[in-house]
A = this chain, B = another copy of it.
């Protein structure tokens, strides 16, 4: 981050490209707390403009490279943080190329259509860097959002819980190698749900339903595991949890949540800890531990 830090000293502005969810706000507030005034590009169809009233911002479509590039120039942006989820991939008709990006459009379209999430993010970062700004990771701006190793909060996992953690890590690893999702839920040592395009919250709801229907034992609790994908660029959106993840885990009757230490974000940490402690839920930072296959 030395290159970025020196760039900051040149007086260029930091942009936050904001998708959905609570993360972009945390980043923006944390940047302000550091004494910088970020410019927010809120992605239409993902972010709520009303959320950004207190910040310099504009609303642009994710495929509007032309508008994004113009904004970079007008605001003298030299560093960009990508933050928040992008649920909808841009359709070809939403893409407004610049002269510089025109030649890349065929590969852009191919990536949008058939690339995994990682491929789409890599492409977005290349397009941004082609317009002269540097993409930096959220953790470089707000390092204290990263999960630490070990218990976060007052509750520790039991031996049974640790078995679920191991089973979930094995499954999340296998998923990550396929560039599919980052999450898995294990109950009683058995993986019962894997995260695809639906996201973590929907997967938690599914497990709550499976327990209600008796298809997963409701007397067993279980663990949500979220890992970074093995080859993930840390400047891309890291896996994250927040108070709503804790609420979803409680609703699914889980015993706890395990996230990859140093490579996953804990948003609103104080609220997460408070809600988890109140519900008797553990939250823990774990190592991927490089193992494969069955736990």
Q: Evaluate contact between A196 and B191: CB separation under 8 angstroms.
A: yes
Cβ–Cβ < 8 Å partners of A190 in chain B: 114-116, 180
A194 at the interface (CB under 8 A from B): yes
- The copy count of this chain in the complex is 2
Chain B residues with Cβ below 8 Å from A195 are 194
List which A254-295 residues lie within 8 A (CB) of chain B. 293-294
Chain B residues closer than 8 Å to A115, beta-carbon distance: 189-190
Q: Helix, strand, loop or mixed for chain A's interface?
A: loop
Q: Determine the chain B residues whose CB is within 8 A of the CB of A220 once the complex forms.
A: 113
CB distance from A84 to the nearest CB of B (A): 14
Q: Is A79 an interface residue (CB 8 A)?
A: no
The residues in A between 196 and 231 inclusive whose CB is less than 8 angstroms from any CB of B are 196-198, 202, 206, 210, 213-217, 219-220
Q: Are B177 and A171 in contact (CB under 8 A)?
A: no
Q: Does A192 contact B (CB under 8 A)?
A: yes
A-B pairs with beta carbons under 8 Å apart, 29 shown: A87-B213, A87-B214, A87-B215, A88-B215, A89-B217, A91-B217, A113-B188, A113-B220, A114-B188, A114-B189, A114-B190, A115-B189, A115-B190, A116-B190, A171-B178, A171-B180, A174-B175, A175-B194, A177-B294, A178-B293, A178-B294, A179-B294, A180-B194, A181-B194, A192-B196, A192-B197, A194-B195, A197-B216, A198-B210
